[in-house]
Amino acid sequence: MPERVSRRTFVKGSLAGAALALGAGTGVAAEAPPAGAKKLLPTGKIGKLEITRLILGGNLLGRYTHARDLRFVLKLIKEYNTDAKMLDTLALAEASGINTVSVHVSPDIRRLLRDHREKRGGKLQRILYPTSNIEDWAGYSRDVQQIADDGAEACYVWGVHTDALVAKGKLDVIAKAVELIKANNMPAGVCAHDLRVIQECEKAKLPVDFYIKTFHHLNYPSAKMDYDSIWCRNPEETAAFMKSVEKPWIAFKVMAAGAIPPKDAFRYAFEGGADFLFAGMFDFDIAEDVQITRELLASEPKRARPWRS
């Protein structure tokens, strides 16, 4: 079966897992992840952290995806990704050679990550971010403190926040958030959909430890619709600017929320200069995505930007 079909034939994957999802909800054990861990994927560093170049992204762990106008997909994800299924997904990612997950914090996510460590013995590193109102400084500070207290290895400022702050000329709030994260003894990142955020941070020489920036090409059908379907409108400009940025860059939305096959998306991101990738994955995606990453990095992708980590 062609890769593009097998990768995102979501209904097939969901039906195949329906019994597991139902079983998890009725006390029947969900399918166990494979025993033993495969060799770790190639890694890079952010500060002292050794991080696999493929990182498990968090939208699906929060039971969300950009579904464009296919609203039933959100319901399907919520039915499929039970708590037990998500714990299995974390364990499977770790067993397959991924060592880091990134996700927003919420009571449900905190419980999931705690159970992964305390009940499953998981060791995935966590790069987390708060989504609470960044201009409610007391509340935002409490959330960053909670992330640190929970033992996260790194933290970053959410892209929805940074895009809006730069548009309003409030770079000082981003600077203050970076200082707050670093004061809690975590590497501090800045995330963005809008390239201007990274440009302004670099211009101001903010002490950012890493950047997270959307990066994907526009050669896929739904890009023409421009309906909840584009997250990097200027990929060539992004690649050109990031070439001069010496801090590690994590690319996200590389598959344009499932519109670009992973082999194509990962190659484009790594060859375009990204040091790491976030990829949202269902359990049935992990083996394929890990294998693609291993083969791609072994082939030494042609990059104009040096590896920055």
Residue 33 in any domain: the answer is no
Q: Provide the pLDDT for residue 263.
A: 98
d(CA 44, CA 138): 34
The answer to whether position 197 is within a domain reads yes
Pairing of strands 100-104, 125-129: parallel
The strand pairing partners of 126, in sequence order, are 101
> What's residue 37's pLDDT?
61
Expressed as residue numbers, the domain containing 254 is 49-298
| Encoded amino acid at 90, one letter | L
- By DSSP bridging, strand 188-192 and strand 154-157 are parallel
Segment 230-259, tens digit of pLDDT: 999 999 999 999 999 999 999 999 999 999
What DSSP designation does 62 have?
G
Residue 48 tokens, joined: 């002292």
The total number of structural domains in the chain stands at 1
State residue 36's pLDDT score: 53
Q: Which residues contact 242 (CB under 8 A, 6 or more apart)?
A: 198, 211, 213, 249, 272, 273, 274, 305
Q: How far apart are CA 141 and CA 136, in angstroms?
A: 9
**CATH (domain of 206):** 3.20.20.100
Check residue 23 and give its pLDDT: 36
Whether residue 7 is contained in a domain is answered as no
Instruction: Supply the pLDDT for residue 71.
Output: 85
Q: What share of the chain is helix, strand, coil (3-state, %, to 5)?
A: 45, 15, 40
Nearest to 165, CA basis, from 154, 180, 179, 176: 176
| Residue 259, domain member (yes or no) | yes
Q: Which two tokens stand for residue 278?
A: 């976030």
- Residue 174 is predicted with a pLDDT of 98
| Per-residue pLDDT at 182 | 98
Would residue 193 count as lying in a domain?
yes
11 domain residue, yes or no: no
**Nearest residue to 280 via CA among 245, 303, 302, 255:** 255
C-alpha–C-alpha distance, residues 31 and 95, integer Å:
14
| pLDDT averaged per 10 residues, the chain (length 309) | 39 38 33 61 97 95 87 90 95 98 95 96 98 97 98 98 98 98 98 98 98 98 95 98 98 96 98 98 97 98 97
Q: Is 17 a domain residue? A: no
- DSSP letters spanning 226-266: TSS--S-S-HHHHHHHHTT--S-EEEESTTTTTTS-HHHHH
